[in-house]
Structure 1
Amino acid sequence: MSAGRPQIMDPDWLAFHPNPSKPRFKPPAGAVDAHCHVFGPAAQFPYAPERKYTPCDASKAQLFALRDFLGFERNVIVQATCHGKDNRALTDALQAAGERARGVATVGEDITETELAELDAAGVRGVRFNFLRRLADFTPHDVLRRIAAKVAPLGWHVVVYFEAPDLAELKPLFASLPTKVVVDHMGRPDVALGVDHPQFQAFVQWMAEDADVWSKVSCPERLSLAGPPYNDVVPFQRAIVERFPDRVLWGTDWPHPNLKNHMADDGVLADQIPKFATTPERQRKLLVDNPQRLYWGVSTGTAEP
């Protein structure tokens, strides 16, 4: 592959923290950072022409160094919208990591069974759909259903990213999918409204009704009104972890795309975990058992029926 010209990141882009703090929290053995990304490097893996932002490069080597620094053992790498449906940067990172990483890809409905098999062999275990218009164009509902039907035989799941006010409109679509549905960042609740507000309770009720719905309790830096250490988000995270301990995941979201007012310190994010996963058992389920079951097919026998 010939190298291209390096991309210049957007002028308002905030690069990832150059020197994150060492967390006091020590993750349990086998812990997984279940939501993170790689960007480029653009000279090797150019960003998609249709992208809505141009980030800084964030390489697999830098991601793996952060993994080790924070005390995690594995990653789930999620395809970034800046790469569109070109999953080469993702699969390159997965192949370099071997069994220490799994992936979530972005695909179109024209993807072939052979191409899906290649992604599966590389370690991809899900496909992601973005419903934030500022980041990507909405996938039409019928297209999403057809893609979900293609990946379901592989045992893959669907990851969805949306904002809380849109849940009522999107819920029938998600309920119609023949796969597990993993929701990014608790469906982005409005922290100002509080945990007891009907908007967040609608998300809790959806998880209670449908055992195929999982939630990432990640990205407090995107939700907080108070700023680090993001204590105003903890009640939302704790509500999900305590109610649905076998269907929650956590990740850093490194390198934190599209943050505008500050850059998150990944050590601070890791130290937030024991605030909402308050026992060793909950921490083990959140960081080890659940991601290993979903992405590596490893069952500990402790999950809810």
Structure 2
Amino acid sequence: MQTSNLNSSMPVFDAPLCQAPDAEIRSPKIAFPAGAVDCHAHVCGPASQFPYAKERIYTPPDATLEQYEHLLNMLGIDRAVLVQPSVYGTDNRAMLSALSLNPSKFRGVAVLDQNISDTELEQMHQLGVRGVRCNIVDVADKSAGLPIKALRELAQRIQPFGWHLELLMHANEFPDLEKTFENFPVDLVFGHFGYTHAKHGVQDKGFQGLLGLLRNAAAWVKMTGPYRIGDGDLPYADMRPFNEAVLLANPRRLIWGSDWPHVMVKKKMPHDADLCDLFGSWVSDPVLRKTILVDNPCILYDFPAIG
């Protein structure tokens, strides 16, 4: 745990620090197509300018826009989606500041306060926000199931902007997922393959419900964070069946992301070049790669088409 002098201008860190991303300068073997989008990354800090929420459960090392843009150049990725990290709660200033510096290159996914005004939503839209993230993982009491009424009300607020709802949730905890989200007002995006741990297997009812939504084009799935839901290190072999299942269900509703800076990873930190090459091994067809890396993100995040 890191603390600072009360007289210092630096913030006081009252939550444990997590490990930093691998800083080795190394490009992937795979060449991503022109216009490729990293659909899941976070900007954290600098903490002296954008202090973290007191109620956070971890403290990330600074992972700034400058560092991230350097990473994108190293990986050969042209565009990106910045997702509001939990350490900021509903304070979207760091993410919005990053969007404002290069609106043609970045889109954003925000976390909203329930009292946000339509004017503020419009301002976010102009800056490049195209979705809202809801964290179901950390809901204390899950006995009542998903807060579907609140999610529908939120969806109705963002529907006029054409935004989607991104859910961070363990799909395996909700076996009636497909029925629950039937006729939902906006597109749904599920992070980390539905965040179902590999030990539950692809036949898990919740994951099967997610596949049903995917087949019916009622949801999108982020092919992200295999290290979060599988055991062991690269190449995360126990996640391969989940990858194959979503590809079979509907490749036109899949997107990929690095999950940089890989906050709260408690096993060996993956190198982003290796994660790019892992995607290349999981999706070997170049046409399908372009669909997932370029075409699909253009639809979901309102990026201009390349060429």
Q: Name the TM-score, length of structure 1 as normaliser.
A: 0.89
Deviations, residues 137-188 of structure 1 (Å, cap 9, x unaligned): 9994433222211110000000001113223265555335310000001112
Structure 1 residue 286: Cα displacement? 0.5
User: Does the 8 A contact of 1:45 with 1:89 survive in 2?
Assistant: yes
User: Does the 8 A contact of 1:241 with 1:276 survive in 2?
Assistant: no
Correspondence for 1:290 among 290, 296, 305: 296
Deviates more, 1:287-296 or 1:42-51: 42-51
Amino acid at match of 1:223: I
Q: Distance in 1 between matches of 2:183 and 2:279?
A: 33
**Percent of aligned pairs with the same residue?**
37
> 1:169–1:202: structure 2 CA closer, same or farther, 3 Å change rule?
closer
User: Does the 8 A contact of 1:216 with 1:249 survive in 2?
Assistant: yes
Q: Distance in 2 between matches of 1:161 and 1:36?
A: 14
User: Does the 8 A contact of 2:45 with 2:94 survive in 1?
Assistant: yes
SS at match of 2:155: helix
Q: Distance in 1 between matches of 2:257 and 2:147?
A: 28
Structure 2 residue aligned with 1:78: 83
Q: Does 1:248 align with 2:254?
A: yes
Structure 2 residue aligned with 1:25: 30
> 1:108–1:134: structure 2 CA closer, same or farther, 3 Å change rule?
closer
| Structure 2: tracts of 5 or more residues without a match | 1-7
Q: Distance in 1 between matches of 2:61 and 2:96?
A: 19
> 1:78–1:274: structure 2 CA closer, same or farther, 3 Å change rule?
same
> 1:30–1:184: structure 2 CA closer, same or farther, 3 Å change rule?
same
Residues 112-131 of structure 1 mapped to structure 2, 5 A cutoff: 112-131=117-136
Structure 2 residue aligned with 1:15: 20
Task: Indicate the RMSD between aligned Cα atoms, in angstroms.
Answer: 2.5
Q: Does 1:142 align with 2:160?
A: no
Residues 33-52 of structure 1 mapped to structure 2, 5 A cutoff: 33-52=38-57
| Structure 1: tracts of 5 or more residues without a match | 301-305
Q: Distance in 1 between matches of 2:150 and 2:139?
A: 20
> 1:34–1:142: structure 2 CA closer, same or farther, 3 Å change rule?
same
Deviates more, 1:242-251 or 1:164-173: 164-173
Equivalences, count: 297
Q: Distance in 1 between matches of 2:205 and 2:175?
A: 12
User: Does the 8 A contact of 1:76 with 1:103 survive in 2?
Assistant: yes
SS at match of 2:130: strand
Correspondence for 1:206 among 213, 219, 224: 213
Correspondence for 1:260 among 256, 266, 275: 266
Amino acid at match of 1:294: L
User: Does the 8 A contact of 2:176 with 2:205 survive in 1?
Assistant: no
Q: Name the TM-score, length of structure 2 as normaliser.
A: 0.89
Deviations, residues 40-86 of structure 1 (Å, cap 9, x unaligned): 21111111122222221110111111111101000000000100001
Q: Does 1:221 align with 2:227?
A: yes
Structure 2 residue aligned with 1:186: 193
Deviations, residues 227-256 of structure 1 (Å, cap 9, x unaligned): 112232122112212331110000000001
